[in-house]
Chain A
Amino acid sequence: MIVYILAVFLFLIGIYGVVVKRNLIKIVIGIAIMEYSVNLFLILIGYVKDGTAPIITDQVSEIVFVDPLPQAMVLTAIVIGLATTALLLAIAIRIYKKYGTFDIREIKNLKG
């Protein structure tokens, strides 16, 4: 039970990074930490007591496997996280070229 609470605690650390930090790159790192914590939480859900890796070989008999469905979900979620991070970083370096700074207190052209 305590591992689930620690995974959600990591999610809250990521939210702290997105809300409080003022550098653009630190905000991106906060989103990445949130994403890793959700992937960890999904894998932990599929654990069955005394289970082994869910691979069928020739000598399969009465073996208890862990749940393979969350593993497939997490593979897809990792790929989606890669695309999100790549696009965020590409926009961040172009903002640095146009505005000259990474500080979000200086980047306020749109208001109202």
Chain B
Amino acid sequence: MTIIVKKVTQIICGVIFLYGIYIIIHGHLTPGGGFAGGAIIAGAFILLILSFGSEFLALKKEETGSSLLESSAILVFLVIAVLGMIVGGVGIFLVNFLPKGTVGKLISAGVIPLYNIAVGMEVAAALLTIFLALLIYRDEVLK
């Protein structure tokens, strides 16, 4: 890619990442939430790979890492859901057991921001894994 694309990517990639985190964390106040923010974060990483390129071994190591991150994010979600069975009510799955604050503040609504963060991590890692898997297949086989 040309020098203009590389320079602009360097400047704007961090801003896109920060914007994705903003949408995930404010998921209980504004539209968006886990899935939309996760897709934006994956877009930031994909932009970096597209404009700078990588060789084959670095891509393979990165795919192992993102695949592990995806599976562990889902396990975090299930652990929070089962934790409600022990701490909160009489053993109710997916119950909201942290204190709910006032409407409109950032730290409120119990467990929902934690679920949003877990889903956002999972979606970003899954989209990055799909992109890397298709890219590795092209480099490895279709030579």
Contact = CB atoms under 8 A, between A and B. Distances in A.
Answer whether A and B touch in the complex at a CB cut-off of 8 Å. yes
Interface of A: 53, 55-58, 75, 78-79, 86, 89-90, 93-94, 97
A79 B130 CA distance: 14
Interface residues of B, number: 13
B92 interface: no
Contact of B137 (A53, A56, A93): A93
Interface string B19-35: 00000000001110001
- Leading 8 A-B pairs by shortest Cβ distance: A86-B130, A58-B104, A97-B141, A79-B35, A57-B104, A75-B35, A56-B103, A97-B142
Interface string B114-136: 00000000010000001001100
Contacts of A75: 35
Tell me if A's interface is mostly helix, strand, loop or mixed: helix
Interface of B: 29-31, 35, 103-104, 123, 130, 133-134, 137, 141-142
Given A75-B35, A97-B142, A58 B137 contact: no
B73 to A, nearest CB: 14
Contacts of B133: 90
Given A75-B35, A79-B35, A89 B103 contact: no
Nearest to B104: A58
Contacts of A57: 103-104
Contacts of A86: 130
17 contacts: A53-B31, A55-B29, A55-B30, A55-B31, A56-B103, A57-B103, A57-B104, A58-B103, A75-B35, A86-B130, A90-B133, A90-B137, A93-B134, A93-B137, A94-B137, A97-B141, A97-B142
Given A58-B103, A58-B104, A90 B134 contact: yes
